[in-house]
Amino acid sequence: MTRRVTANMTLSLDGRYAHPDHPIDMSWVMPYAVTDVARDHMTRLWKPATTALLGRVNAEGFLGYWPTIIGTAGADPRDEAFAQWLVDTEKVVLSSTLGAAPWEHATVTDRPATEVVAGLRSTEGGDIAVLNSVSVIKPLLAADQVDRLSLVIVPRFLGGGPRLFDDGLPTNSWSLTSQAAGDHGTLALVYDRIR
């Protein structure tokens, strides 16, 4: 069986993934990221995955933060489990500026995302999880190489900023395979590509 590519992204209710003027400011997401629905959603995403595929910016952010959670007093067990998975799992980081991976179990490549995914699909393993890396997800969507969309929608309008789904994507259909709503209005949605 071919390895499934799961693209994970958090979006505002008006379909944005970042503020228009502050693209790396994720403070708008944080109140919702610590909800049960978001944590359970993330757990369902990483458990079947054996590879994390990241762009450089997200790799630096994720791998700078998540390992610090391990062993922290009062940490949510779901957060600790994700952090440990992220440390231990195979990571492929797409970057044209990093020379070598400063993290364990990580490889850096400057090849296009579509080529990297084609290579990973030809190997044994579980899901390939693309973790909030727009620079990786967008070309995969454009090439119809995403098998599962794992989305968390937070009840905020950003009023501008970049969108995940650009005009001109290939026409295709998706099936809603899971949905959950949180107390704070957070929606966790999983769609599988119908092929």
pLDDT tens for 33-54 read 889 999 999 999 999 999 999 9
Closest CA to 94 of 130, 68, 124: 130
DSSP letters along the chain, please?
-PPPEEEEEEEETTSBSS-SS-TT--TTTHHHHTSHHHHHHHHHHHTTEEEEEEEHHHHHHHHHHGGGGTT-TT--HHHHHHHHHHHHSEEEEE-SS-SS-SSTTEEEE-S-HHHHHHHHHTS--SEEEEES-HHHHHHHHHTT---EEEEEEES---SSS-BSS-TTPPP-EEEEEEEEE-TTS-EEEEEEEE-
Closest CA to 131 of 49, 68, 22, 16: 49
Domain 5-159, architecture per CATH: 3-Layer(aba) Sandwich (3.40)
The mean pLDDT value of the chain amounts to 93
pLDDT in tens, 116-158: 999 999 999 999 999 999 999 999 999 999 999 999 999 999 9
Closest CA to 105 of 60, 51, 56, 42: 51
C-beta separation of 70 from 77 below 8 A: no
- Which pLDDT does position 8 carry in this prediction? 97
In sequence order, which residues have a C-beta less than 8 Å from that of residue 70 and are 6 or more positions away?
Answer: 80, 83, 84, 87
- Which pLDDT does position 24 carry in this prediction? 77
Tokens describing residue 98: 């990093």
* Token pair 């499934």 in the structure block, residue: 4
- Which pLDDT does position 184 carry in this prediction? 84
- Which pLDDT does position 1 carry in this prediction? 66
d(CA 170, CA 141): 8
Question: Domain locations in the chain?
Answer: 5-159
- Which pLDDT does position 51 carry in this prediction? 98
pLDDT in tens, 71-98: 999 999 999 999 999 999 999 999 999 8
- Which pLDDT does position 78 carry in this prediction? 96
In sequence order, which residues have a C-beta less than 8 Å from that of residue 19 and are 6 or more positions away?
Answer: 25, 28, 158, 160, 161
The proportion of the chain whose per-residue pLDDT surpasses 70, expressed as a percent, equals 99
pLDDT in tens, 150-180: 999 999 999 999 999 999 999 999 999 999 9
